[in-house]
Chain A
C-alpha cells in the first residue's frame, strides 16, 4: 500500500519517534483494561507451525509467530491478557491495545495514539465499547457486529481486523494452555 522504497529508506534513517497524537501509554491502557489487576507479567510466546496454519485456515494472516503479551494477575489468579498492536489507518499507524479476559471475551480496546487527519472518533468510548464481550466466535467485522465511522472506514476496518486477529491468537494460546 505504501511506497515501499520510501518507506524502507525512512525506516533505515528515521529515529524511532512516535508521532502525535499520543493519548495513552500501553501501561496505562493495561491498567484501564484490567483495573483490578495487581501486576502485569510480560511473556513472549512463539506460535508453532500448526498454530500458524490454524490461524491461516481461519482466514487470519498472522504477521509474526512471536507474540509479546502482558498477563494480568490479581494475586495468584490470572485475569487475562493485554496485547498491544499497531495497524495502518489510511496513511499512518494507529497504536491500540486489546484486553482479553480469562474467559476469552474482550474486556475492551484502548487507542494509544492516532495520527490521521480524519477518524479520531475511533477513540470515542462509544465506538470502542462495541468490542466488549466479543469472543473468537464473534464476527468482529465492520459492517457486521462493529459499526463503521463515516469518513474513517479504513481506520475502523483495520483496527477491527487487528482486534479479530489478536482475539484469535489469544484463543489459540488459551486453549493450548500457554497462558496458564
Chain B
C-alpha cells in the first residue's frame, strides 16, 4: 500500500507543481476579464498537458506493477533474454481455500448440518531462485477448543529445492502422492460437495507424512516421485471406536504430531501426462507401523492406480486403491469382542464423468455423476471359528450433481448421494468453496 501511495503521489507531482506555479501568478494580478480568460485558457492547456503526462505515468506504473505484467519483447540482442518481466514477481504469496457445506440427510432431516468444513491459510515463500517453503494451516469445523469439535492442523510445511531443471528435492511435512485428490484437494479441484469416499476412507486424504522426497519432471511426460517418510502407528487403533471402520488408515495416521519415528516408510508414484488431457498414474506406500511398541510387527501397504481424461468438455476419471495391514491376527487376538478389529485389507474404487455443459466468461456449469464402491474391512485375518469377524459388505454410492463456477477460484456445488447399504445416509448437499 505504501508503494502504491507513493506511486500516486509521484504521479501527481507534475500537476501540483503546475498549479503551484500558475495559480499564485494568476491571483497576484488584477487582471482584466480578457486577461483572466487568456490565463484560464493557458491554465486549461497546461492542465491538459499535465493530465496527458499523468495518464502516461499511470499507464507505465500500472504496466510495471501488474501481477502479471504486459507482454514484452525487445531486439534479438541479448536484451531479449530479459524480456519476460520477472521483476514484479513477489517472493511471498499468500494462499487460501475454504469450503462451507450443507448436508441434509433425506430420511433423517433432524441431522441436517451446516459446517465450515475447512478454512485454510498458507503461504509460499521463495528464499532464492531455487529454494522455497510451502505451508498450509487448516482449521476444520470453524472453532477449535476443548469444548468444540474443530481441529487446527498444519497440513503442509515443506522446503523444496530445485536441484536441476528436472529434479527437485522436498523435505518436511508434505502430501503423499497417491490418487487424484490428495495432492489437489482444494474444493475447486473436485466434483461434488464432499470429497469422494474412496479418497477419504481408503486413501486418508488429506494424507501427509514427514520426510524427504524427490520429484522428477521428465521430458517424456513422466513425473516420478519417491522418498522416505514417517508412517502409521498401529498402536493408535481404538477397537472400541467406529473410527477404524470409517477409515482404517485415517484412524492410525500420525500427521507429524509427535509422530513415532522408529519405523519409517518408503513411497513412490509415477504419473504420465504425455498426451494432452490424459493422466495415467499410480502410487505405492509401504512401511512398518508397530513402531517397536506393538505386540507384533506390522506393515501397512497402500497402492493405487488412477486415470483422468479430459477430452474437450468432458472430465472423466477413475481411481482404484487397496490397502493391507499385516500380522493382524496377532494384533487382533487381545481385541476379540471389541467393536472394531483391525482389517487385513480394505479397498475401493470410483468412476466419474463430468461435462462442461455451459460456460460464459468466467461462469461455468459442470454436471457430473460418480459411482463408488469401497470397503473399509474387506477381509480379516483368521482368528479361528467364531472369533474371526465377518468382512463387511462393500458400500456403493451414486453421487450426481453439478459444480457451478462463478469466477476464477469460486465454486458453488449441489449434489445428491444415494447409498446402496446405509440408506439412512442418503443426502442432499450444498457447498460453497474458494481457492486462490
Q: Given contacts A30-B80, A126-B274, A147-B311, are A12 and B3 in contact (CB under 8 A)?
A: yes
- Looking at chain B's contact residues, the main secondary structure is loop
Q: Given contacts A20-B129, A21-B165, A42-B75, are A95 and B68 in contact (CB under 8 A)?
A: no
In A60-115, the 8 Å CB interface with B consists of 63-70, 82-88, 91-93, 95, 97, 112-113
Q: Given contacts A42-B74, A117-B160, A124-B274, are A27 and B130 in contact (CB under 8 A)?
A: no
Q: In the complex the two chains form, is A91's CB within 8 Å of B3's CB? A: no
Interface check A2, CB cutoff 8 A: yes
Interface check B386, CB cutoff 8 A: no
Q: Provide the bound-state CA to CA distance between A118 and B189, in Å.
A: 14
- Looking at chain A's contact residues, the main secondary structure is mixed
Q: Given contacts A12-B3, A83-B73, A93-B68, are A150 and B273 in contact (CB under 8 A)?
A: yes
Q: Given contacts A19-B129, A63-B66, A93-B68, are A150 and B308 in contact (CB under 8 A)?
A: yes
Q: Given contacts A91-B124, A150-B308, are A11 and B70 in contact (CB under 8 A)?
A: no
Task: Flag A11-25 by CB within 8 Å of B: 1 or 0 each.
Answer: 110101111110101
Chain A positions within 8 Å of B308 at CB level:
150
Q: Given contacts A11-B65, A126-B274, are A85 and B71 in contact (CB under 8 A)?
A: yes
Q: In the complex the two chains form, is A26's CB within 8 Å of B90's CB? A: no
A176 → chain B, closest Cβ, in Å?
18
Q: In the complex the two chains form, is B310's CB within 8 Å of A143's CB? A: yes
Interface check B28, CB cutoff 8 A: no
B81 → chain A, closest Cβ, in Å?
4
Chain A positions within 8 Å of B76 at CB level:
27, 30, 39-40, 42, 70
Chain B positions within 8 Å of A92 at CB level:
89, 93, 124
Q: Provide the bound-state CA to CA distance between A90 and B294, in Å.
A: 43
Q: In the complex the two chains form, is A27's CB within 8 Å of B160's CB? A: no
Q: What 9 additional pairs, Cβ within 8 angstroms, besides A12-B3, A18-B89?
A: A27-B78, A30-B73, A64-B69, A97-B73, A112-B84, A117-B160, A121-B273, A126-B275, A148-B277
In the complex, 23 of the A-B residue pairs with CB atoms within 8 angstroms, ordered by the A residue number, are: A1-B408, A1-B409, A3-B93, A6-B94, A8-B2, A10-B89, A11-B90, A14-B89, A19-B130, A27-B80, A66-B59, A66-B63, A68-B73, A70-B74, A85-B84, A91-B124, A117-B168, A130-B276, A146-B276, A148-B276, A149-B277, A150-B279, A151-B184
Which 3 A-B pairs rank lowest in CB-CB distance, beginning with the nearest?
Answer: A147-B277, A64-B70, A95-B84
